[in-house]
Amino acid sequence: MEENKCNYNYERLYLNILKNIDKMEGRLSKTENLFVIIDLVILLFSVTGLFVLSIAAHYKSHSVITLGGLQILLICGMVLTTRWAIIAMKSQLKIKLRYFQARSIERKINCQCFSIITDEQHFYNPDIHKLESFDNAESLDYPQKGPTGMDGYLGSTKPRMITMVPASFFFFTYQILFILVLIRYFL
């Protein structure tokens, strides 16, 4: 009786952790979409400001206020992109912790039926080329060659890398625009 109650509590805890993981992943996705939209708006205003600055430089009528405003906008973009990377990495580490906790509870319950939800080890293992369902009704083949192969670039990509690509793109774009504005100002 006591063991059933204990397993019931672990199962409830397990389900709560899975709900928590789902909420955290949804929140991370929404946050990343929001950061992309804000970065695109800042980039649009920056490119427009740079275009206006180049036209004003052609007529020798650019002002320090225009240059300063554009520099501040670019600095805000760099800070925002850095913040985006930090928030995403912290969220991904929290999600990783929740998956660790869920797998610990699976071992505590000692029930194989739960591990299908959190055990992604097979998915990222390049030595395994085919997975079969526990009832052998379905199988999943993994690509073995090319960029999408499990030993290729896409197959070994971690979520942190996927988050860092757009953040790095925006950050380096802001730096290039920042340097272009400085060149415009001093030339």
Domain ranges in the chain are 2-112+159-186
pLDDT value, residue 104: 78
In contact, 92 and 160? CB cutoff 8 Å:
yes
What's residue 142's pLDDT?
A: 62
Low-confidence residues in the chain, pLDDT < 70? 1-8, 57-62, 110-135, 137-162, 187
Residue type, 133: S
* pLDDT given for residue 140 in this prediction: 62
Q: How far apart are CA 126 and CA 142, in angstroms?
A: 9
Query: What pLDDT, on the 0 to 100 scale, is given for residue 23?
Result: 93
What is the model's pLDDT at position 88? 86
